[in-house]
Amino acid sequence: MSAPPPGPALIAVRGLVRVYRSGDVDLRALDGVDLEIHEGEFVAIMGTSGSGKSTLLTLLGGLDRATSGTYHLAGEDVTTLSKNRLAAVRNKLIGFVFQSFHLLARTSAVENVELPLIYAGVRAAERRKRALAALEQVGLSGRAHHTPAQLSGGQQQRVAIARALVNGPRLLLADEPTGNLDSRTSLEVMALLQGLHRAGHTVVLVTHEHDIAAHASRVIVMKDGKIVKDEVQEPVQAVVPP
């Protein structure tokens, strides 16, 4: 199945290589990856452990630097940026969702969501307003003052998604976002991500589960640090049973 790209290239990667040194051995985690992801796409990246999928997501998020190759994000060459400039671009353009939620345990949901705004220098009153709006967007306005220990796994992931959304990013990167969740809660999270995609966000997620990747409109398969398959598909709509 093929379709025209839904928008201009938000991500443009050329010849991306990432080599890690382990003792006397060079481990080539990425081996010359070429990739474009367009504004408004929902992309799932799949592959077995060691395929390079998480390494690629880490580089796309600006959390690591490539050994060689180029990466343009919204037209800017990320590979040449200083640490401070890269952090600013990351905070402005990218929202991250992780498998393990990474919430502060003794901090309320709304305070967890506020964290990116603190780094961005947003004033307290505006921080709280935007954080509450993000929690409402993910259906958790009634849990704003609960700590993670008072929330289910699915609710914790929703808080993490709200935190990813609070700066109004163009790109959402999700690394195994359903990996710690049961089947029903996984469907709830995928329904939320599909809704955010329909609202205009570009979504890229890493998963090893075919039923999760089925909810994306494009699937990329990696093996040995290379892209071996890249297909557009009709996404399965995530419907949570009553």
Domain residue ranges in the chain: 40-65+84-232
Contact yes or no for 206/53 (Cβ under 8 A): yes
**pLDDT given for residue 7 in this prediction:** 63
**What is the pLDDT at residue 55?**
94
Residues of the chain predicted below pLDDT 70:
1-7
Report the alpha-carbon distance of residue 188 to residue 184 in Å, rounded.
Answer: 6
- The pLDDT of residue 1 is 41
In this prediction, residue 130 carries a pLDDT of 94
Q: What is the pLDDT of residue 241?
A: 78
According to DSSP H, which parts of the chain are helical?
A: 53-60, 83-93, 109-119, 124-137, 153-165, 183-198, 210-213
- Helix axis angle, 109-119 to 124-137, nearest 10°: 120
- The domain 40-65+84-232 is classified under which CATH number: 2.60.120.640, 1.10.3720.10, 3.40.50.300, 2.40.128.110? 3.40.50.300
Distance between CA atoms of residues 178 and 93, nearest Å: 23
Radius of gyration of the chain (CA): 18
